[in-house]
Structure 1
Amino acid sequence: MPNTTTIISSLLIFIPVSIAGHFLGWESSTIFITSALAIIPLAAWMGTATEEIAVVLGANLGGLLNATFGNATELIIGIVALNAGLIDVVKASITGSIISNLLLVMGFAMLLGGLRYKEQEFQPTVARLNASAMNLAVIAILVPTAVDVTSVGIPEATMQNLSSAVAVVLILVYVLTLLFSMKTHSYLYDAGVAEVEIQELAESNLAPDSPDHKVNLPLWIGVLLTCTVMVAIESELLVGTLEEATATLGLTSLFTGVILVPIIGNAAEHTTAVTVAMKNKMDLSVSVAVGSSLQIALFVAPVLVLAGFILGKPMDLNFNPFELVAVTVSVLIANSISSDGKSNWLEGTLLLAAYAVLALAFYFHPVIEGLV
């Protein structure tokens, strides 16, 4: 029976299909779907290449590389969409990525892991630290919108300056969280990760210090660079057909940005989180889900704000109020469920139910000029 890696890699066939469709003038919806499917395996191989290179670089540089490229796919799609002027879609994809990681990914992981194991455990200390960081992220993206709502005719330049200043603060916090997790308090994170690595190596009959466990560094650097370029190309195809394709499919830009784009960009991470949860490695599963949300909020979002300034496509942190409600609800329920360091299938179901309710709300949410 084919494993998950084989199934995901088989989607690479959609790379030439989507490119051929572009040059042959196929329907926008067909190119949109095929390019979306092509991005999924590319994101997975980027993750694999990053992990392999990290083994050679060591704990600190490897951790930094993982943190930087952890959400590279979403960042590339965001920059391409930003350059195309689809600022509303970019904003929606930011909030959507946070929501999908906290509710959809962690929900599936807890549900499927809980069906196999009655109760699973993970480090509550790390969960609480991540919860505090997510609370800060929510406050940071709430403030610009609150300023706009409580002001009369706030100038666009002022909102842009405020958003840029907040972006700098968020990036600084992100750097400090990396310092905390990889240097000053790395022991809080090492236990679960080390256990996972030992188990994985044991399953492949390779000891951590085995001479057979070698990394072909030039190969994996080449894979990472190639996948990055291909993700950029496929993102151009995806974004170029997004408006026409979604209109044909009867979807709004809000639903596309919040629901569809994050699922495409996070598909590989979704699979990883669920797979390790079903192996009773809930520490790693929660780390993937919550860590990805933190990277989006503390790194990807502020980088996109600054990138918009550089590209001449001003983007601020003034979000659709309903998006902020959805993010706040997602963070609250995720923090509540993960605070005790234990999970079961019912808690996973609750997270998925919350995601389903929000997805339905975004599907039926009317597009109001000036808010989306």
Structure 2
Amino acid sequence: MSDVRGYGQQARQADWLEPAQLHLLRHFTWYPYRAMRTVLRSSYVNSLLVFVPVGLAAGALGWADQAVFLLNLLAIVPLAYWIALLLGDVAAQTGQVPAGLLKATLGNTVELAVGIIALRQGRIRIVQSTLVGSVLCYSLLVLGSSILFASYNVEKLVFDQLLTGIMSSLMIVVSIALIIPAIMSFTSSSESVTTDRDMLTMSHGTAIILFILFVVYLRFQHKTHACLFQNVPGDGSSGNSHDVAEDEPPAPTRRRLWAAGGILIASILSIFGCASYLIDSIDGSAKALHVSPAFLGLVLIPLAGNAAKYAALIAISRQRQIDVVIRTVIGTILHVTLLITPLLVLLGWILQQPMTLDFDSFVAIVFFTAIMVMIYLIQDGQTNYFEGAMLMGTTCGYCNAETLMQVTFLVCIRCYSTIDCFNRLWKVVAWCHVADQEDSNNNQEDQGGS
């Protein structure tokens, strides 16, 4: 019985993927998901569960900010994995569109939790950095490493160009819509309240449009053009139908669904608790590391929150199922940009927080160029390991650029402080010299008068 239960859980390893993509996977071998079960359900991930109570206790007891941040950062890794694992059991019992909506929201629980908590505290830059960091990790690091592992010993990999082109076009439209407020803020010379009000109005309008576009995208994916998501070229896809049918897992029982739902709710609440202490300790940790809090939101939080998904996609890519990887990466980026981002903007509207799409100029440039680089490399329907290495190199370049900006800022602050000290010292010396001159003149006048 335990074997059946374990095998059913194994088959749900890919349930953060789109329903149509799961249908496609049944035309392939289930070996990648057995590999994911070996990797992700092993002691490496489960051992991190010990950090969940430790991280919550550290935050409640008021430990040092660095310890609280690190412990809760490690705690969200297994929690995010178990949410993705259990979400499949729950979403499988709903319709295609509700399942897609569930996976788009709860599949990005870390971004949603960090965004909501930071938004309630008015930490707008952290919200924006976390969202952009998630997009960067998927578009550059995850896709690049997956392509590298999938094609390191082959000349090229070929994937479906039609659907990839459609989804890439949608990403271009969304990325342009997201950076228009930042461009408007950058080119505006006014700092008046009217400009801020206009920025809020534009951001709210853009969020509503993106949310409507997400609803249309769900209908396009699951209703009107579902056939596009069910046609993937692959090697030997038609020869294993009998084997695949034998390997498909049994449907979950009602008791297991209730258990999955309960554990799912507990995991979500735990992520919100860890995210709360994570945000509370981010300032002290950033000060200790000599970086900005936005940098931690741009790099570390997205990496930890999606680490299990990254490992799973790399496991799939090693079986050369690059179509599934590319569509999953693009689908996740669209979920973040079409649903999570506008949802947080509208939530800020409700909470009376100035949550806008006015990203920092560096973050906006990084976001747009990352999307453009990814689309340019996959637009021809084929790829190789060198393109994967370029994507990973672009990630390192962006991180180094951000680090260089932080170091430059610190050096400038320290240089300014040193120069300011010299200026103050020079003013004191000059004042003393002037005082001595005045005393000398007064003495001479007194002597002349006598």
Tell me whether the two structures share a fold, i.e. TM-score over 0.5. yes
Shift of 1:312: 2.3
1:164 aligned counterpart, secondary structure: helix
Letter in 2 for 1:298: L
* Counterparts of 1:317 and 1:38, CA distance in 2: 29
Letter in 2 for 1:4: L
The 5-angstrom pairing of residues 322-361 of structure 1 reads 322-361=362-401
Asked whether the equivalents of residues 40 and 308 of structure 2 are also in contact (C-alpha less than 8 Å), the reply is no
Letter in 2 for 1:318: D
Shift of 1:201: 11
- The answer to whether structure 1 residue 214 and structure 2 residue 246 are counterparts is no
Say which structure, 1 or 2, has more relative contact order (CA 8 Å, 6+ apart). Answer: 1
Alignment partner, residue 71 of structure 1: 108
Asked whether the equivalents of residues 201 and 207 of structure 1 are also in contact (C-alpha less than 8 Å), the reply is no
Q: Which runs of 5+ in 2 are unaligned?
A: 1-34, 410-450
- The answer to whether structure 1 residue 113 and structure 2 residue 150 are counterparts is yes
* Counterparts of 1:199 and 1:259, CA distance in 2: 41
Alignment partner, residue 312 of structure 1: 352
Asked whether the equivalents of residues 110 and 305 of structure 2 are also in contact (C-alpha less than 8 Å), the reply is yes
Q: How many matched pairs?
A: 364
Alignment partner, residue 245 of structure 1: 285
Indicate which of 22, 27, 33 corresponds to 2:59: 22
Indicate which of 104, 129, 141 corresponds to 1:92: 129
- The answer to whether structure 1 residue 102 and structure 2 residue 142 are counterparts is no
Letter in 1 for 2:82: W
Superposition RMSD in Å: 2.5
Shift of 1:192: 4.1
TM-score for the superposition, normalised by structure 1: 0.91
* Counterparts of 1:94 and 1:335, CA distance in 2: 19
Q: Per-residue displacement from partner, 1:195-247 (whole Å, max 9, x unpaired)?
A: 99x98995795346xxx443421111112211111110010111110111121
Alignment partner, residue 32 of structure 2: none
Alignment partner, residue 361 of structure 2: 321
Shift of 1:338: 1.0
Alignment partner, residue 10 of structure 1: 47
Distance 1:129 1:20, change over 3 A: same
Distance 1:201 1:341, change over 3 A: farther
Letter in 1 for 2:60: F
Asked whether the equivalents of residues 179 and 368 of structure 2 are also in contact (C-alpha less than 8 Å), the reply is no
Letter in 2 for 1:286: I
Indicate which of 271, 274, 283 corresponds to 1:234: 274
* Counterparts of 2:241 and 2:118, CA distance in 1: 38
Letter in 2 for 1:353: G
Moved more, 148-157 or 326-335: 148-157
Letter in 1 for 2:63: W
Shift of 1:172: 0.8
Letter in 1 for 2:404: F
Distance 1:120 1:159, change over 3 A: same
Asked whether the equivalents of residues 160 and 381 of structure 2 are also in contact (C-alpha less than 8 Å), the reply is yes
* Counterparts of 1:311 and 1:170, CA distance in 2: 20
Shift of 1:163: 0.4
Shift of 1:94: 1.7
* Counterparts of 1:60 and 1:143, CA distance in 2: 30
Distance 1:240 1:201, change over 3 A: farther
Distance 1:92 1:277, change over 3 A: same
Letter in 1 for 2:156: E
The 5-angstrom pairing of residues 148-167 of structure 1 reads 148-153=185-190, 154-167=194-207
Moved more, 29-38 or 281-290: 281-290
Q: Per-residue displacement from partner, 1:168-196 (whole Å, max 9, x unpaired)?
A: 00111111111111111111112349999
* Counterparts of 2:60 and 2:212, CA distance in 1: 43
1:279 aligned counterpart, secondary structure: coil
1:17 aligned counterpart, secondary structure: helix
Shift of 1:361: 0.6
* Counterparts of 2:117 and 2:45, CA distance in 1: 24
TM-score for the superposition, normalised by structure 2: 0.75
Shift of 1:350: 0.5
Asked whether the equivalents of residues 193 and 284 of structure 1 are also in contact (C-alpha less than 8 Å), the reply is no
Letter in 1 for 2:142: V
Alignment partner, residue 52 of structure 1: 89
Distance 1:201 1:217, change over 3 A: farther
Distance 1:67 1:199, change over 3 A: farther
Q: Which runs of 5+ in 1 are unaligned?
A: none
Identity %: 27
Letter in 2 for 1:64: L
Letter in 2 for 1:12: L
Asked whether the equivalents of residues 113 and 272 of structure 2 are also in contact (C-alpha less than 8 Å), the reply is yes
* Counterparts of 1:193 and 1:61, CA distance in 2: 28
Distance 1:259 1:193, change over 3 A: farther
2:151 aligned counterpart, secondary structure: helix
Q: Per-residue displacement from partner, 1:252-309 (whole Å, max 9, x unpaired)?
A: 1232122122212222221222111112221221122221111111111111111112
Asked whether the equivalents of residues 45 and 227 of structure 1 are also in contact (C-alpha less than 8 Å), the reply is yes
* Counterparts of 1:258 and 1:33, CA distance in 2: 16
Which structure has the bigger radius of gyration? Answer: 2
